[in-house]
Amino acid sequence: MPKRNHDDPALKLDNQLCFAVYSTAHALTRTYKPLLDALNLTYPQYLVMLVLWERDGMTVKAIGQRLHLDSGTLTPLLKRLETAGYVRRQRASDDERQVNIHLTEQGQALYERAHSVPQEILSASGGNARNLLALKQNLLQLRDTLNAAGD
């Protein structure tokens, strides 16, 4: 039985944009890991902290919209952040369906220790801020195109 030829260039791994995004995301997470270990955060937890440092007291829903994550991901993650002492979860009194997430003193204080993280990531990324900014814009455009296509 002759082996079939598999020669569609579109199905070669090295031609897949998606694998480039996927493997770069993992490389970035691995780069963040030692930096975030020092803050006792995982990368998704760090994203939640970034959101809360911009605006404290957001609901789970609002955090999820900002990060494109749902409650199935956020609820246990936020409970771990609460256990770590960085946030407080409080059901809203005016609408008992919602849960507001507030930073604790410790969570506020963590901001000061986070300043060095973006610098180190920039450095590990090669340090060309202009190129990286353009890359970010291109990615966001792709992301928004994909999200618009799948509505």
Task: State the residues that interact with DNA by CB under 7 A.
Answer: 22, 26, 29-30, 33, 42-45, 59-61, 64, 68-78, 80, 89, 94-99
Which of its own copies, DNA, none interacts with 38 (beta carbon under 5 to 8 A by kind)?
none
Is residue 8 a contact point for its own copies (CB under 8 A)?
A: yes
Give 64's contacts (C-beta < 8 A, 6+ positions apart): 70, 71, 73, 74
24 or 128, CB closer to DNA?
24
Q: Among its own copies, DNA, none, what does residue 89 contact (CB within 5–8 Å per kind)? A: DNA
Number of residues forming the site for its own copies (CB under 8 A): 64
Nearer to its own copies, 83 or 150 (CB): 150
What are the backbone angles phi and psi of residue 37, rounded to the nearest 5°?
A: -55, -40
Q: Which is nearer to its own copies, 76 or 118 (CB)?
A: 118
96 contact choice in DNA, its own copies, none (CB below 5 to 8 Å, kind-dependent) = DNA
Contacting its own copies within 88-147 (CB under 8 A): 108, 111, 114-115, 117-119, 121, 123-126, 131-136, 138-143, 145-147
Q: Torsion-angle region of residue 85: left (phi > 0), alpha (psi -120 to 50) or beta?
A: left
Binding mask 14-43 for its own copies (x = CB under 8 A): --xxxxxxxxxxxxxxxxx----------x
**For the range 93-100, what are the long-range contacts, defined as Cβ-Cβ under 8 Å and sequence gap of 24 or more?**
98/59, 98/60, 98/61, 99/59, 99/60, 100/57, 100/58, 100/59
Give yes or no for a contact between 103 and 53, defined as CB atoms under 8 angstroms apart.
yes
| Residue 95, SS3 per DSSP | coil
Residue whose C-alpha is closest to residue 118's, from 39, 63, 57, 61:
39
